[in-house]
Structure 1
C-alpha cells in the first residue's frame, strides 16, 4: 500500500497539465517548502540546550553533547535519504515522507512540554534536590528528537538536489544554490529569534506548536507544486554499479591494458570510443572487453575514479566543521553566564546567540554573490574557483576560533572566584560568530557547488548530501574531542567559570591550521572534471 502511494505521488509530480515541467515556476514551491521546514526544525533545535537544562535538569556539558548529537544526526542522515532518492523513489517521495516523520517527532516534543508527567519536577534552588528524568521521560524525549531529526535529515539536502534538477543551466543552478543557502539561514534566523523568544518568555508548548504548524505548511507547499516539478526518474542503485567496477578490476587483474579505444566497453555507439583516464589505472581493466563478460563501461570506471579523487578533499571538511560544531554549542553555555540585556529590559535568549552566525552568513552570501565575485572577475585575470572559495573559508574559521579564545579569556578574568554574572556583555561573543558566518558564506555554498559539479551524474542527490555527511560526522567528532579534553584536562567542568574553555578554542586553532595545510595540498593536486575532459591544464 505504501509503495503504491509513493508511486502514485511520483507519477502525479511528473505530469503537468500544460506539458511544462521544471524551471523558475517551481522556485516558490521548493524554496517555500525549504523555508517552512527549516523554520520548524530550527524552533526545536536552536533552544534545545536551554530546554534540556531548565526542563529536564540535565547538566550543561551533557546538554551540549545531546545538542551536538541531534545536530549530527540532522546533518549525517541526509546521505541515507540521498541514496534512497537516487536509487529507488526519487527526491519528491523522500521529501514528503520525511516531512511527515518530522511532524510526528515535533508533536511528541510538544507533548513533552505540555504534559507535566513527561518531565521531571522543576529544580528549585535551596529547597528541592534536582531530580533526573525517569527512563520513560528520557524515552519519550529521545523518540521525539529522533523522529524530528530523521525527518529533517531526509529533507534538508534532498530539497537542494530537487531544486537544482529543475534547471538545465549551471548558472541557474548556482543561483538556486545561493538562494537555497540564503533561505535556509534566514529561516533559521527567524526560528532562533522569534520562536526561541516565545519559548523563553511565554511557553515551551507554544514555541514547539509553532514549529509543528510550520512543518504542516511546508508539507502543504511541497504537495501544492507537485504538477510543476521536473523529477528525474531513479536509475537504480548507482553504488551497485560502482561496486561492480571494483570487482571487475580485481577479476581482470591479469589482463594487459590496451592502448586501443575499441578494446574497452563504451557507453554509447553514438559517441566516439575513448580510453579510461590514467588516474588509478588499475581500475581501467574493469572496462576491458572479454568474451562472456558483463559489460563495465568506461563511464562507470570514471565515475568510481571521480569519487576516489574527491575523497581527500571531502575529508578536509571534517576538521573544518568540527571546531564550528564545538563553538556552536559552547557559545550557548557561555551566554548563560553573561549579561544578555539589550536596551534596558529586553534580554537576548541564550539559545539565540548562534543566530549571529546565520545573519552573518546570509548577509555575506548576498554580498559575495552580488558584489565581491563580480568585482573580482573584473579586476582579476580569472574568476575565483570553488576550491579557492573553500580555502578562504578555512582561513576565516581559524580566525574565528582565535577570536573565541581571546573573548573567553577576557570573560574568565571577569568571573575569577565568582559564580554569578558580573556584567560582561554577551555582545562580546558576536565578532567571533560573525567571522565564523563569513567563513561559512565562502566554504558552504562553494562545497555544495563543487560536489554537485564533480560527482558522477548518477549521484547528484548524494553529491549535495556529501556536505551534510562530513558536517554530521563533525558534530560527533566535537563530542569525541569534548570527551577527550574532559578526561585528560580540567578545561571543561560543568561550571565553565571554573575551567579553561579558551584553551579548547586554541586547540581548535591548531587543528584547523594543520587541516588547512592538508587542504592546500589536496586542492593543489586536484584537477576539475571539466578540465580533465577537455584535456586542458
Structure 2
C-alpha cells in the first residue's frame, strides 16, 4: 500500500500526489544537464579556442565525473542526509554552475577573443578565464551528483505497491529520455545557430523549473530516514578478518557469529571459497556482550556479511570486463563530434545538423532496440527454444556489437581521410562527405548499449547480496565513469606515442585509433568469455523471466 493516511487536515504523504512534482523535477534537471553537457566539446573549441583533442579529453573527464558523482550523492542520501536535502541542494548547486557557464558565453572578459581564420594568432584562454570555466563545469557536474540516482529512488519510496513503483519508473525513464532528446536536438541547435548564451540560459531555466517543482511538492513527500551505508558492514569484514588472521578457524558453526532477524537467528554455514574472510565471523573472548549483542563491531561480523563480500568478489571479474567494454564507447562518443565538425552536416540546402546532435542516433537506436528486444526478440527466442537467453549472453551480444561499431567507425574514418587527401584538405577543413556516413556505426553501438546496459543492471541486481541490491545501477555507473577516465588516458597515450591525433584531424589517422579500440574490445571479449564460463549464478541457475 501507499503511505498511510495522515491526521485530519494534514496532507497525505507519498502516493500519486507526488508524481507530477517528481516527474517535472526529473525532466527539468535532465534537460538542464543535457543542455550544458551535450555540446560542451564544440563550446570549448569555438568559444574558448581549446585544441580539438584537448576539448575531447575534457569532455571525457566530465563524462566520468557525471557518471561517478551520483554514487556519492546516493550514498549521502541513503546513509546520512536523506534524499530530499541531497536533491534540492544539488539542484541549487547545478543552477549556480549553469548560471556561471552562461556568463562565460555572454560576457567578453570571461572568454578569449575569437580566432579570425588565420588573420591573427589564435589566443587561448587566460588562467582566470579557464579557472572560471572549470568552476562552472565543476559546479554543474556536482549538481548532477545528487539527482541522477537519488531522484529515482525517492520516487519509488513514495509507493508501497510494487506495481505502482513499476509504473512510476516507466514514466521516470520516459521523462529522462524525452528530456535528453530535447536537449541534444533542441538546445544544441540553439547553441550552434542562435547563441550560446540563450542555449545555456534555457538550460538554467529548466534547472530552475525542476528545483521549484521539487520544493513545491515538499509537503507531500514521504521521506525515509537514512539507514546507514551497507558498505560499512562489508568493510568491517576486511578489518576483522585481518585482525584475526592468526587464529585457527573452527569447524563448528556455533563458533561463528550469525545474523539476528525478527524471526530469530538466521543460520548459515561457512564456505571454503576465500576462506581467509571466515576469520571475521569467528567469535573470540570479549567479542560478545552478555545479552548476545556484538561488543566490538569492527572486530566481529556475521557470516552473512562474510558471504555477501565473497559474492562481490566472485562478481568482480565480470564487473571488470565492463570497464574495457565501455571505454571504446566513451572514446567513440567524443571523437564522433570531432569528425562531425569536419564533415558536411547539411540536411537540405539550408538546415545544418549540429555536431553534438549526432549522438541522438545512438539514443534512438537504443530505444528502438529495447522495444524490439522486449516485445519481439526475447519472446521469439523463448518460443523457439523454450528457454530465455541468460543475462551474461545478452551482455556478450553487447560486446560483439560494440566491437563491430568500432570497426565500422574505422572504415568510415578511413574513407573520410581518403576524401580529404583527394581534395588536398588539411587541418580541420570540412570534407565534402556527408556526416550521415556515421549513422550506421551509431545505430550499431546504440543496439549494443540496449543489450549490455540493462543486462548489466539486471545481472548485478539479481546476483548482488540482498543488503546492497539497490547499488546495482551504481555499479554500472562506476564502470561507465572509470571507462571515461581510462579512455582519456588511452587517447593521451596515443597522442604521445603516435602521430594519429594531431590538432588537425585531416592530418592524422583517427581510423587507426578506432582499430586499436576494436582490438582492445576483442581481447576484452575473450576475457569476458572466460569469466562468463567460470561464473556460477548465485541466486538463480540460468532462469530468467521474459520481459513483455
Give the TM-score taking structure 1 as reference length: 0.90
- Equivalent of residue 425 in structure 2, options 413, 418, 424: 418
367-376 or 407-416, larger mean C-alpha shift: 367-376
Secondary structure of the residue that 2:147 maps to in structure 1? Answer: helix
C-alpha distance in 2, partners of 1:145/1:184? 21
Note if contact 1:67-1:329 (Cα within 8 Å) is conserved in structure 2: yes
Note if contact 2:3-2:158 (Cα within 8 Å) is conserved in structure 1: no
Change (3 A) 1:170 1:316: farther
Note if contact 2:112-2:126 (Cα within 8 Å) is conserved in structure 1: yes
Aligned residues: CA RMSD: 2.7
C-alpha distance in 1, partners of 2:215/2:390? 37
Counterpart residue number, 2:396: 391
C-alpha distance in 2, partners of 1:369/1:42? 27
- Alpha-carbon deviation of 1:236? 2.3
Note if contact 1:198-1:206 (Cα within 8 Å) is conserved in structure 2: yes
- Alpha-carbon deviation of 1:250? 2.4
Change (3 A) 1:528 1:89: farther
Counterpart residue number, 2:285: 291
Counterpart residue number, 1:199: 191
Counterpart residue number, 2:496: 487
Q: Give the count of matched residue pairs.
A: 521
Q: Which has the higher helix share?
A: 1
C-alpha distance in 2, partners of 1:282/1:264? 14
- Equivalent of residue 275 in structure 2, options 274, 281, 285: 281
Counterpart residue number, 2:373: 368
Deviation track 1:291-331 (CA, whole Å, cap 9, x = no partner) reads 31134212221222222222212211111111111111111
Change (3 A) 1:64 1:515: same
Structure 2: unaligned runs, 5 residues or longer: 288-295, 544-548
Counterpart residue number, 2:291: none
C-alpha distance in 1, partners of 2:168/2:456? 14
Counterpart residue number, 1:450: 459
C-alpha distance in 2, partners of 1:264/1:404? 56
Q: Which one has more relative contact order, counting CA pairs under 8 Å at least 6 apart? A: 1
Counterpart residue number, 2:137: 145
Deviation track 1:478-512 (CA, whole Å, cap 9, x = no partner) reads 11111111111111111111111111101111100
C-alpha distance in 1, partners of 2:477/2:252? 41
Note if contact 2:69-2:144 (Cα within 8 Å) is conserved in structure 1: no
Note if contact 2:3-2:159 (Cα within 8 Å) is conserved in structure 1: no
Matched, 1:336 2:336: no
Change (3 A) 1:277 1:169: farther
Secondary structure of the residue that 1:424 maps to in structure 2? Answer: strand
C-alpha distance in 2, partners of 1:173/1:450? 20
- Equivalent of residue 36 in structure 2, options 19, 39, 44: 44
C-alpha distance in 1, partners of 2:377/2:160? 25
Matched, 1:135 2:144: no
98-107 or 82-91, larger mean C-alpha shift: 82-91
The aligned runs of 1:6-155 (5 Å cut-off) are 17=6, 28-155=20-147
C-alpha distance in 1, partners of 2:178/2:234? 38
- Alpha-carbon deviation of 1:349? 0.7
Matched, 1:468 2:460: no
Note if contact 2:461-2:469 (Cα within 8 Å) is conserved in structure 1: yes
Counterpart residue number, 2:362: 357
Change (3 A) 1:482 1:429: same
- Equivalent of residue 312 in structure 2, options 303, 307, 311: 307
Note if contact 1:264-1:298 (Cα within 8 Å) is conserved in structure 2: yes
Note if contact 1:92-1:231 (Cα within 8 Å) is conserved in structure 2: yes
Structure 1: unaligned runs, 5 residues or longer: 1-12
The aligned runs of 1:259-274 (5 Å cut-off) are 259-268=251-260, 270-274=264-268
Change (3 A) 1:422 1:274: closer
- Equivalent of residue 242 in structure 2, options 220, 245, 250: 250
C-alpha distance in 1, partners of 2:47/2:25? 31
- Alpha-carbon deviation of 1:20? 7.0
Change (3 A) 1:394 1:167: farther
